[in-house]
Structure 1
Amino acid sequence: MNFLETAVSIFIGSFLLTYLTIPKIIGVVEYRRLMDSPNHRSSHKSRTPTLGGVSFFYTLIFALFFIKGWTTLGEAMYIIPGLTILFIVGLKDDLVVISPGAKLMAQVLAIAFILANPSFTIHSLNGFLNINEIPFYLFLIIGGFMMLTIINSYNLIDGIDGLASVVGIVIMVIYTTIFYLTKEYFFALVSITMNACLMAFLGFNLSSDKKIFMGDTGSLIVGFIISILTLKFLALRPHVYTELPFLLENAPLIAISILIVPLFDTARVFAIRIANKKAPFSPDRNHTHHVLIDYWGLSHRQASFIIGCFNLLFVMLFIVLGSTAKNLGMVIMLVTVVVALGYIFFKYNYSFATLKQKIILRRQVNKIKAKVEDSNGKKRKTRTMDVEHRKEEKIE
């Protein structure tokens, strides 16, 4: 079976396995009353089934079994332990909630399996900012930090219906293209598998009667796969970059552009929380998607679609620029865009205190309007009853 036949089979099989089993997961979650209850930060108003990420785990395990023959250094056997660790931790966090420290330790352990495989070792940045050879110990530090950042950044954007799935689909499409062009077929198939899972899940996530969230179980798994693909992209051998439409030295900037949505949102939110003297991981509604919904009046679908389109256009822009521009010019361009985006979102003063006050004020105004309408309705009803009562008295 050639690559294209395998790719089609893997996509169809992964999509159907996810699509057909999610309703079963919803049924079990509802029967066991494991739904996610809304709070003051939630974007949903009713109890909703979670654990959609469970379907990602077993679909990936099945897919890895069938595509393991496309590996060269046994990468599949190093991915499975990490996936299993994050699946268990994510499942426990969705059910009973665990401490950030325990979650971080699990992520470090999962990442260690990936860094131990020589296929993912980054030997050089190929002249990016005049950096060439990288010592192995420095690779372990940079690679581990990068994977931790990607996993947690993706986890943080899972705040509204469809956003994590749409951004994940965009990222997977890009990585599928990159690994197909560089003939790294195993990683192209992994991207296709994850893409099929996200596409099947998206329909349920946006549904009104069969809604389900991926939960930490899903976001940790997807973030882990994205971090693996990013690490492999940066570890590609120099000669394969001749197949890609951008310069070898611009690869790190292309990777950043692919992950611009989760990275920018995380950096922005952390900056706001620290400026307000709060812990970086303290919960609030300061995320970019919350701003689009709370202040610009967009629906979940509209906000997710806009952010997804921005991600795709941003990557395309940097690929075009990366085909001719040197990395210093690309860095200046990236910094300019990030500063511009930061200004657009910061100028409205989206601090937690301000945001909370405005939300409370809006809710109070809505309550007052509802009371006024209810009072007017009662007055009209009383007047109608009085008129009818007078008519009855006249008849008598």
Structure 2
Amino acid sequence: MFFLETAISLFIGAFLLTYLTIPKIIGVVEHKRLMDDPDHRSSHSSRTPTLGGVAFFYVLVLALFVIRDRDLFDEAMYIIPALTILFIIGLKDDLVVISPGAKLLAQVFAIIFILINPSFTIHSLNGFLNINEIPYYLYLIIAGFMMLTIINSYNLIDGIDGLASVVGIVIMVIYTTIFYMTGEYFFALISITMNASLMAFLGFNLSSDKKIFMGDTGSLMVGLIISILTLKFLALRPTSYTELPFLLENAPLIAISILIVPLFDTARVFTIRIANKKGPFSPDRNHTHHVLIDYWGLSHKQASFIIGCFNLLFVMLFIVLGSTAKNMGMVIMLVSVVIVLGYIFFKYNYNFATLKQKILIKRKVDRIKSKVEESNLSKRKKDRQKPEDKEENIEE
């Protein structure tokens, strides 16, 4: 009962704080002219306010203060400095672009605060691929790499209106359910808080007159929260999994399925960039959401909704399979899906110049087809009029 009351209060409070703060942020950003200027890669055509993630920061800090008594290992005191580091580095990157190396270094420092807390230590993979106990140093390497991957993967999908928010909402709903079922109420409340902020932000992100982007300020912090929740999920005690609808050994695969959208998109984009002899962090329009918009003609809302639905259905499928299937069968299933998706989207393995050329050619072909159809239609009309003219001449 206490959890339900706290959860409702946190959700309403976080939603209202975010919803009421974002218009103020938009006003300040417009007044100081800190808008995001569109370039050749942008999916928007007008200058748009950024820094929407500023609202996430103080809402999360306030929520952690309120629920600090619910944590067992003082996790809130470790999460706050990690959030602060990424908030500062994200804010600086939104205002003055910084190098990927400096951003990565800041992420490493933020992650250290999380890894040294004993609550997040992964002691065993519980038989996944026949791996059980793992040494502490190996945990640090695996967990650190995993958190860096999740943070940057989520940061990279923030490319069109609504996508980062929709994917984040799906992930938070799943983690809220998992941590509620396992009795980890502190992390369930964090998920609820983040979910409320993302829902409030989504309305502005999709708005036509009060649009704002979360920017790196927001995407880095949301990515950090997702990585923390994922790490905690994998560090759960074996007894906690008795309440979950899947086998203990399948937990790593369930985590991958939850994060399938950012992980798949990042792997695909990095592969294409390296194949084109570019740096993995070099910007382009090769992301999955760009393909859906540029080549398949979907709107931002449609692409975000489709990707979000795919994420949710993919997780549900793996939870159902994970309740009975052994992890080797799950691995084969996951690899098969990735190969199929890779084949579908790797057909669009092009750099921006090639993409633009294909789009222009497609538009020219469509215009030619429409002109031909109009010409044929006008000829048919003329042919119909000729017999009528002949009849009039005969009568005369």
Query: With structure 2 as the length reference, what TM-score do the two structures score?
Result: 0.91
Q: 1:374 — aligned with what?
A: none
3-state SS in 1 of match to 2:67: helix
Q: 1:208 — aligned with what?
A: 208
Contact 2:115 2:121 in 1 (8 A): yes
How do 1:204-353 residues align onto structure 2 when only pairs under 5 Å count? 204-353=204-353
Distance 1:82 1:287 in 2: 28
Structure 1 unaligned regions, length at least 5: 369-396
3-state SS in 1 of match to 2:7: helix
Distance 1:40 1:353 in 2: 10
Distance 2:349 2:91 in 1: 36
| CA spacing shift, 1:361–1:41, aligned 2, 3 Å | farther
Contact 1:276 1:352 in 2 (8 A): no
3-state SS in 2 of match to 1:126: strand
Q: Which amino acid aligns with 2:319?
A: I
Q: Which amino acid aligns with 2:189?
A: L
How do 1:66-215 residues align onto structure 2 when only pairs under 5 Å count? 66-215=66-215
Structure 2 unaligned regions, length at least 5: 369-396
Q: Which amino acid aligns with 2:264?
A: F
Q: Which amino acid aligns with 1:334?
A: L
User: Aligned Cα RMSD in Å?
Assistant: 1.5
3-state SS in 2 of match to 1:127: strand
Distance 2:229 2:361 in 1: 44
Residues 173-205 of structure 1: CA deviation (Å, up to 9, x unaligned): 000000000000000000000000000000000
Contact 1:35 1:50 in 2 (8 A): yes
Distance 2:335 2:366 in 1: 41
Q: Which amino acid aligns with 1:111?
A: I
Aligned-residue identity in percent: 86
Distance 1:85 1:364 in 2: 49
Residues 193-237 of structure 1: CA deviation (Å, up to 9, x unaligned): 000000000000000000000000000000000000000000000
Residues 214-267 of structure 1: CA deviation (Å, up to 9, x unaligned): 000000000000000000000000011000000000000000000000000000
Q: 2:393 — aligned with what?
A: none
Distance 2:104 2:273 in 1: 20
How do 1:34-45 residues align onto structure 2 when only pairs under 5 Å count? 34-45=34-45
Contact 2:126 2:248 in 1 (8 A): yes
Residues 319-356 of structure 1: CA deviation (Å, up to 9, x unaligned): 00000000000000000000000001112443444213
3-state SS in 2 of match to 1:195: helix
Distance 2:38 2:205 in 1: 16
Deviation at 1:367, TM superposition (A): 12
Contact 1:273 1:352 in 2 (8 A): no
3-state SS in 2 of match to 1:159: coil
3-state SS in 1 of match to 2:125: strand
Q: 2:53 — aligned with what?
A: 53
Contact 2:91 2:216 in 1 (8 A): yes
Distance 2:364 2:58 in 1: 46
Q: Which amino acid aligns with 2:67?
A: I
